[in-house]
A and B are shown apart, each in its own frame.
Chain A
């Protein structure tokens, strides 16, 4: 190798790019990546709804329609089941409260009846005991 070649190697040796080069490249790549993701979604939708009446798309349209109808029906059914469940829960709570109140009233009435019954028994016993009657007469 001649001196000119040596000097050429020296003059043309690799240089580092300006500071922040890697960061700038990666930022551009990330930006392009996100743009491509958006574009892919748009492409997918365009593909689905492009030429809706073409025979090749009929099956696709039918699938989309059935799926959409299924989603709507499912949503409505879910809402109605939820509403019925909520109403049932409220009715159950009201019934339980009414039963509790009725139970308490019944308990109260039973206590009163017991008290009355026990008072009558005491007075009957007093009147039907012969020894007690004799002592009373004497």
Chain B
């Protein structure tokens, strides 16, 4: 599991976090991908990712360690995704309304392109928080406890949301594509 422990407030304050440009290079794919999978809109995802890094630039001196930076980036990106969804009143898109081109616009070339495309559409149709949990679970390989810390909610809630989201995804994949174990 990827590390997502918040750093205690009394951690050594002088830990060198590193050069901002290096941090951007190292974490840009993580931040951009969370935004991209959530918004399914590459230009909007880039704009959001840039805003996250601008916020990091202003806050960098307060972050205590590289692990703290990663945790902070995941948390801020997630919350910005939710905020953007609320601000722009992103509709809960029904599967039938999803454009066929969404998955292609993400530049996906998976082993099973049709199934991957369908899964992306299905993930994009999930409610905001459940969508974010699925992205953090399967893109970032985080545990329910890690996700709970990022989203400021109990781990049990995250687990139940994840189970429901996964069951729903499996059910819809089976309905639209046939049997998938």
Task: Show the binding face of A for B, using Cβ within 8 Å.
Answer: 2-5, 7-18, 21-22, 24-26, 28-29, 32-33
Contact = CB atoms under 8 A, between A and B. Distances in A.
A32 B50 CA distance: 13
A51 B169 CA distance: 63
A10 B20 contact: no
Interface in B85-144: 106-108, 110-112, 115-117, 119-120, 123, 134-135, 138-139, 141
13 contacts: A4-B169, A7-B112, A8-B134, A9-B141, A11-B110, A11-B117, A11-B123, A11-B138, A17-B29, A17-B49, A22-B24, A22-B28, A24-B50
The 10 closest A-B pairs by CB, nearest first: A17-B32, A11-B116, A11-B119, A12-B139, A8-B138, A14-B33, A14-B29, A29-B57, A12-B138, A10-B110
A64 B55 CA distance: 37
A16 B32 CA distance: 7
B138 A18 contact: no
A15 B54 contact: no
Interface of B: 20-21, 24-25, 28-30, 32-33, 36-37, 42, 45-46, 49-50, 53-54, 57-58, 106-108, 110-112, 115-117, 119-120, 123, 134-135, 138-139, 141, 166, 169-170, 173, 180-181
Nearest to B165: A8
Contacts of B169: 4, 8
Nearest to A3: B181
Contact of B111 (A10, A17, A33): A10
Q: Is the interface of A mostly helix, strand, loop or mixed?
A: helix
Contacts of A11: 108, 110, 115-117, 119-120, 123, 138
Contacts of B181: 2-4
Contacts of A28: 50, 54
B152 to A, nearest CB: 22
Contacts of A12: 33, 37, 119-120, 123, 134-135, 138-139
A22 B19 CA distance: 13
Nearest to A33: B57
Contact of B21 (A3, A5, A17, A26): A26
Contacts of B139: 9, 12-14
A25 B53 contact: yes
B36 A15 contact: yes
Contacts of B107: 15
Of the listed residues A7, A26, A32, the one surrounded by the most CB atoms of chain B closer than 10 A to its CB is A7
A29 B52 CA distance: 11
Given A7-B116, A12-B37, A14-B30, A25 B138 contact: no
A111 B49 CA distance: 98
A100 B90 CA distance: 98
